A = this chain, B = another copy of it.
Amino acid sequence: MAQNQGRASIIFDRPPRIIGAASIVGEKEGEGPLGHLFDCIEKDPKFGKDTWEEAESELQLRTARKAMEKSGMNEEQLRYLFAGDLLAQGIATSYGIMELQIPLFGLYGACSTCGESLSLAAMAVGGGFADCAMALTSSHFASAEREFRFPLEYAGQRPLSTTWTVTGAGGFVLAAGDSAAASQAHVQIGGITTGKIVDYGVKDSMHMGAAMAPAAADTIFQHLKDTGREVSDYDCILTGDLGSIGQTILKDLLFDQGIDLQNRHDDCGILIFDPEKQDTHAGGSGCGCAATVLAAYVLPRIERGEWQRVLFVPTGALLSKVSFNEGQSIPGIAHAVVLERC
């Protein structure tokens, strides 16, 4: 069914295809450089609900429904849902997708969860265990600030190294490459490289890019080693939410290992906001950052043939407020997904 490559990579013999993708974002994301590309922009930050957590649940549910609508699939046809978010115990997911009644695998990989969910959904479809599965992830600026830093009411100052958690969710419906449902699809998941935890001892929760860059470097290095590919085999190597400072660290770390990303690297967190006009400092972050940029910007570019192959590498910072308050460092993880035109 697949070739195991090296330590951590799979190249699918029967690559699953992405037959539908949806992105819904908040108002600030809608005002950013990619604003015209998202499926929906919701002006109410509470999404019609009473709490930030319920807002994120509603965001995730609407995104799942939109992805189903765009892929022509309904709840009954989706065998599995692989979903997660940033909140403690994944409550945005648990409460959000309950009414869909799809068998659920709940995931947690911080902001790398989009890569994790796509990897597992691709394995389930590629292994013949599901005709059709959805990968779904979300984040919300206000629920994340309360979860990881301070409630917004504190009006805390944000250092320039911080990133701005994206209010957004992305949903992706995968189907077997040889299925009728996939006959019109033009993007396949060619392979994956699964990350391991990398900890360089960064302890500053206002500097996530530095915490995650070593994990991104590790996964990209491992991917190229496992597959024998070069940077130039990809039109773009796209990390999740390193931001502008993390991008510099990533390039330096890989350069030290003999890998020059040249001009082929970009980062969803850098793409989604305009730091000059939007006061977002180092860039966007959150599960929803990589997921919405993938759905709205990356997949359409591959579909149009502007890119043939992209290495999509969402990055996650594995902290909690408990571990932070206990003085622990912030380990990172990154999961790579190979997206190819087909």
Contact = CB atoms under 8 A, between A and B. Distances in A.
B91 A318 contact: yes
Contact of A127 (B88, B128, B199): B128
A86 B108 CA distance: 11
Contacts of A94: 197, 318, 323, 331, 333
Contact of A53 (B79, B195, B326): B326
Contacts of A197: 94, 97-98, 101, 104
Interface stretch (A3-11, A232-240, A302-310): A3-11
Contact of A110 (B89, B102, B130): B89
Q: How many copies does the complex hold?
A: 2
Contacts of A124: 123, 127
A90 interface: yes
Residue with the greatest number of chain B CB neighbours at <10 A, chosen from A53, A76, A127, A326: A127
A160 interface: no
Contacts of A87: 320, 322
A7 B103 contact: yes
B129 A108 contact: no
B51 A326 contact: yes
Interface string A52-63: 011000000000
B109 A106 contact: yes
A91 B196 contact: no
Contacts of A105: 107, 109, 116, 119-120, 194
A84 interface: yes
Interface residues of A, number: 61
A106 B128 CA distance: 22
B2 A129 contact: yes
Given A88-B322, A104-B197, A123 B116 contact: no
Nearest to A323: B91
Residue with the greatest number of chain B CB neighbours at <10 A, chosen from A84, A86, A103, A147: A103
A164 to B, nearest CB: 19
A227 B131 CA distance: 18
A47 interface: no
A194 to B, nearest CB: 4
Interface in A1-40: 1-2, 4, 7-8, 10
Contacts of A106: 107-109, 116, 318, 333
Interface in A116-136: 116, 119-120, 123-124, 126-131
Contacts of A172: none
A116 B147 CA distance: 25
Nearest to A12: B129
Contact of A323 (B53, B126, B129, B331): B53
Given A106-B116, A126-B129, 15 more contacts: A4-B130, A84-B108, A87-B320, A89-B318, A89-B320, A90-B108, A94-B197, A94-B333, A95-B323, A95-B331, A104-B194, A106-B107, A106-B108, A107-B107, A123-B127
